[in-house]
Amino acid sequence: MINTVLVGAQWGDEGKGKITDLIAHDYDYVVRFQGGNNAGHTVVHGDTKLALHLMPSGVMYDDVVPVIGNGVVVDPGVLIKEMAMLSAEGIDCSNLKISADAHIIMPYHKDLDGADEKSLGANKIGTTKRGIGPCYQDKIARKGIRMQDLLDEKIFRLKVKTALSQKNPILQKIYGLHTYTVEEICEEYLPYARILRPYIDETTELLNAAVREGKSILFEGAQGTLLDIDHGTYPYVTSSSCCAGGAITGTGIGPKRIDRVLGIEKAYATRVGGGPFPTEQHFAEDGGVGEEAEVGETLCSVGHEYGVTTGRKRRCGWFDAVVGRYAVEVNGLTDIALTKLDVLSVFDTIKVCVAYECDGERYEYFPQQQSVLFHAKPVYEELPGWKGVDISGCRTFEELPENAQRYVKRLEELTGGRISIVAVGADRDQTIFRDWYRDEN
């Protein structure tokens, strides 16, 4: 049985939802291990695109158990709405298991997320304002409220009372925001508790028992390598471990149980929110001119690059092989799924960043110094395109135009990774599996 960790290898939105949904039926369990409803994963259900924020993408199959692991932060109201949306689409959520140890996003976390961002002014991170950072702050400070606390009204009230004794003065005195009463919060959250109670479980034991029985698990990452709290472009990151290591701490499964680490990479790059992005092709409204603005706009419009969670226009740029190499290393990627290759069919030539230059120095590796990264100028290699050829119908690697094959192979050389899956459209079947992928399953 192949246990697979699936992670974003760039700045998020690489197409993790599509690939998870595509391969989920090979697994018995699909587990989210970090992040919360800052994630927006798109899956295609019949003719409709569905956006999943908290529910593991494996929910689309009846015989796959979706699990929300201990490393996730859960906004119960959002989860309940998502379950209702899925039920209305005829998708059964009754198998869902939620870790009793997962932390709960409280109303004041969302207020503090917004207020923090406001106070940072021009240096703001551009968070999704879903309360993710403040909830993880409380977790690390050992002040969080967890799903298991919802199971006992007395304990929940007590924890809320303690939390408010610290949060209310901060909300009021530092940010001039409204405060909360215990009653107000209980009125909202205790009904959530009644709905979610049947799903709250001991997921670490459940998953380890599954491993003992030879069942297989797909660990579904959210966000991406460059948004990881340790390995990303700090402080312009999210507050969790989005790299492969997060799958271990976020579920309680030992590292030797993992057989495959699949990194999802877009055939170009995007980023939402602030922070360095060396290959960015600025839009005209952000100061881009001429070819740069044209490339940025083209990637955005052809690739439909708008945030699933916030609706924000995603910043767009060429594929960055320095980032690619880094992602292969920090995640130990055994395989890569390259998505949205079809989007590049509109270009005469396609650029790939092979290194950075800063102050006369060449960087072949991802620099850890923020100041270098901010001033890094990409060194590009230009590859011939396959302009005008519709590749969305290709189902084998050999069917792709020669230049598209060459592009994929060049990315493998530059990143040191093995591209085992190529996506040529949003639908499940618009996908190419390289020969070895199925053989190794």
Binding site for ligand GDP (CB under 6 A): 8, 12-18, 40-42, 49, 304, 308, 339-340, 342-343, 423-426
User: Of these, 9, 39, 150, 426, which contacts ligand IMO (CB under 6 A)?
Assistant: 39
Instruction: Copy the structure tokens of residue 256.
Output: 């030797």
How many angstroms separate the Cα of 189 from the Cα of each of 44, 62, 139, 151, 394?
31, 29, 19, 11, 49
Q: How far is the CB of 400 from ligand GDP (least distance, A)?
A: 13
Write the DSSP assignment of 296-330 as a string of letters.
HHHHHHHTT-B-TTT-PBPEEE-EEHHHHHHHHHH
Judge contact between 130 and 74, C-beta under 8 A: no
Residue 41: active-site member: yes
| List 13, 21, 101, 342, catalytic entry | 13
Site for ligand IMO in 253-272 (CB under 6 A): 272
* Closest CB 111 distance from ligand GDP, rounded Å: 26
**45 tagged catalytic:** no
Report, in Å, the least distance between residue 191 CB and ligand IMO: 26
Nearer Cβ to ligand GDP, position 224 or 274? 224
Binding at 425: pick from ligand GDP, ligand IMO, Mg ion, none (beta carbon under 5-8 Å per type): ligand GDP
- Give helix then strand counts, H and E, for the chain: 13, 20
Q: What is the DSSP string of 386-432?
A: -TT---TT--SGGGS-HHHHHHHHHHHHHH---EEEEE-SSSTTSEE
Nearest of 399, 397, 404 to residue 436 by alpha carbon: 397
Do the Cβ atoms of 394 and 425 come closer than 8 Å?
Answer: no
Residue 128 interacting with ligand IMO (CB under 6 A) = yes
Q: Find how far residue 290's CA is from the centre of its chain.
A: 32
The entry of ligand GDP, Mg ion, ligand IMO, none near residue 426 (CB within 5 to 8 angstroms by kind) is: ligand GDP
Could you say which of ligand IMO, Mg ion, ligand GDP, none residue 125 binds, taking C-beta under 5 to 8 angstroms by partner kind? ligand IMO
d(CA 45, CA 41): 13
Spatial contact of 325 and 365, defined as CB atoms under 8 Å apart: yes
Examine residue 8 and tell whether it contacts Mg ion (CB under 5 A).
no
Among 40, 107, 245, 263, binds ligand IMO (CB under 6 A): 40
Residue among 21, 25, 28, 41 flagged as catalytic: 41
Choices 98-106, 212-220, 278-286, 304-312 (CB under 5 A): range interacting with Mg ion: 304-312
Candidates 7, 8, 325, 432: give the one binding ligand IMO (CB under 6 A).
Answer: 8
As measured in angstroms, the least distance from the Cβ of 430 to ligand GDP is: 6
DSSP letters, 206-237, are HHHHHHHTT--EEEE--S-GGG-TTTSSTTSS
Count of residues in contact with ligand IMO, rule CB under 6 A = 22
Contact set for Mg ion, span 9-68 (CB under 5 A)? 13, 40
Residue 199 amino acid letter: Y
Alpha carbon distance 50, 164 (integer Å): 36
Partner in contact with 132, chosen from ligand IMO, Mg ion, ligand GDP, none, beta carbon below 5 to 8 Å by kind: ligand IMO
171 scored as a contact of ligand IMO (CB under 6 A): no
Q: Does 220 bind Mg ion (CB under 5 A)?
A: no
Selected from 31, 222, 248, 267, the binder of ligand IMO by CB under 6 A is 222
Residue 343 interaction partner, one of ligand IMO, ligand GDP, Mg ion, none, beta carbon < 5-8 Å per kind: ligand GDP
For the chain, the farthest-separated pair of C-alpha atoms sits apart, in whole angstroms, at: 66
Structure-token match 């320095």, residue found: 322
Binding-site ranges for ligand IMO (CB under 6 A): 8, 12-13, 38-41, 125-128, 130, 132-133, 222-224, 227, 238-239, 272-273
